[in-house]
Amino acid sequence: MSEKWKAADIPSLAGKRVIITGANSGIGYHAALKLARKGAQVVLACRDHQRGEDALARLHADSPGTHVELAILDLASLSSVRDFAKKELAQHRPLHILINNAGVMAPPRRLQTADGFELQFGTNVLGHFALTALLISALEHAAAESDQKSRIVTIASIAHKRGRLNFDDLQSTKIYSPMKAYQQSKLANLILAFELDRRLRAANSRVMSVAAHPGVANTNLFQVGDHSPFEKAVRNLFGHAIGIFLNSDSEGALPTLYAATAPGAEHGGYYGPQGFQEMRGDEVDRAIVAPQARDASTATRLWQICEDLTGTKFPSSPGSAPH
C-alpha cells in the first residue's frame, strides 16, 4: 500500500450488519468498537453471558448511540453453534460481514469440547467451520441485496508458520503439546480460509473469504486459562511486556478491520502488521504465508474431515441452504 491504512479509513458501514465471535475482549472488542463507530450494526457473539453484558455496557459507554447487541455462542459446542445460526437466520436480517475471531490458546492440559474434540481444534477450527457453513446463505443474500460483496474474515496467527497438520492425531489424543496444538489449529484456519476462497470463486459467489492476523498483541489469550499461579504470573508479566514493546489490542485489530472493510482487500488475501517479524506495527499489508498453508491436496482432505466431524456441509451453489 502506498499510504498507511488507518481505522479512520474504514468506509461508512451504515446499514451493514456484522457478527464478531469472541468480541467481549481484546482484538474482537476493539474491532467491534471501531466498526460500530462507522455505523455498522454489530453482534457480539460471546460464550459467557456476563462478560458479554460487561463488554456491551463498556462499548455503549465508549460510543453512545452505536448499534450493538449481544448473542450467546459457544464455539466449543456444535449444538450452541447450530442454535445460534438457527436464531440468526430466523430473524431474516442481512449479514454483510462475519469475523471468525474467537480463539483458545495453549491450555496446559488437554481439554475437550462438548462434542469430545480437543479444545483448540474444536473451537478455533470446527466451531468456526460449522458457523460459517450455516451462515453462508445469509451472507449471500446480503450481497445480492446490497450489490456489494459480503466478507468472511478468518483470524489466523503467525504461529501457523510453525504448524503442521497431524492427520493421524488431529485431536491430540496420543500426544498433547499445548503450543503445537495451537499452531495446528491456526494453520488449519488459514488453510480453510484459502480453500473457502477457492470454492466461493469457483461458484461465482458474491462472498469473499479473507484472512488476517494481529501480530502479537496483549490479549487475554495470554492471561486466562487453567494455569498454575507461577504460569499465571509469567503470562501476566509477558502480557505487560507485550503491552510496552509490541502491539496493543487496538493496533492488533487493524488487520482484522482492513480485511473486513478495506476496498483494497482481495479475495483470498491474508493481512497482518508490517513491523518486526510481523509481530507489531500499525501498518497493514500482505502477510507471509507458510508453504504448508497453500497445499491444495491438504486443504481438500482437511475440508472433508471438517465436514464429517461437524456434520455440516457448505451449500453446493451460492444462496442455497447448507446441508
- The 10s digit of each residue's pLDDT in 225-238 is 444 555 555 445 55
The pLDDT, as a whole number, for residue 238 is: 53
The pLDDT, as a whole number, for residue 235 is: 47
Domain 13-310 of CATH type 3.90.1150.10: no
Other CB atoms within a 10 A radius of the CB of residue 229 amount to: 7
Sheet with 97-100, strands from edge to edge, namely: 67-72, 41-46, 17-21, 97-100, 150-155, 207-212, 270-273, 284-286
CA atoms lying within 13 Å on the CB side of residue 301: 11
Q: Which three cell numbers stand for residue 98?
A: 462475519
- The 10s digit of each residue's pLDDT in 187-220 is 999 999 999 999 999 999 999 999 999 988 654 4
Residue ranges of the domains in the chain? 13-310
Q: Is residue 210 within 8 Å of 269, Cβ to Cβ? A: yes
Just list the catalytic residues.
182
- pTM of this prediction? 0.90
The pLDDT, as a whole number, for residue 319 is: 53
The pLDDT, as a whole number, for residue 53 is: 97
What distance in Å separates the CA atoms of residue 287 and residue 128, rounded to the nearest whole number? 22
The pLDDT, as a whole number, for residue 224 is: 39
| Residues in the chain where the model's pLDDT stays below 50 | 2, 219-227, 234-235, 239, 242-245
The C-alpha R_g of the chain, in whole angstroms, comes to 18
Q: Is residue 123 within 8 Å of 68, Cβ to Cβ? A: no
